[in-house]
Amino acid sequence: MVNLKIKTQNNEFNLTKEEGTNLKDIIKSEYIDFKFPCGGKGICGRCKVNVIKGANAPTKPEEKKISADELEQGKRLACCFNLNSDTEIELTEKTSGLLGSIFKNKK
């Protein structure tokens, strides 16, 4: 198990998840309103997040869609990022431009 901290403009979520879990799946399962325009296939490059702690090596889609400077700054694609260790990420309009309301109502 790994610890994940998700920071948004108005909230902070502290979660414990299985190692190897995809960040997109976590965001969706926690009802955080964050957009995945290509459905999470890694082809549009628009689901950028800022990894503050726990960044792993970029995937091929990330290398194609994120500049070297952004990768160096910790930018990753949520749909391509798997948790490998304790991780802290930030979701903001500044990082993705796609952040809607921060937290959807759970049904």
pLDDT tens, 68-84?
999 999 999 999 999 99
What does 18-64 look like in DSSP terms, one character per residue? -TT-BHHHHHHHTTEEE--TTSSSSSS---EEEEEE---PPPHHHHH
Express each pLDDT in 31-56 by its tens digit.
887 888 888 899 999 899 999 999 99
Domain housing 81: 2-101
In a domain, residue 8? The reply is yes
In a domain, 107, yes or no: no
Based on the structure, what is the number of domains in the chain? 1
Instruction: Count the Cβ atoms, other than its own, within 10 Å of residue 105.
Output: 6
pTM for this model (two decimals): 0.83
CATH number at residue 64: 3.10.20.30
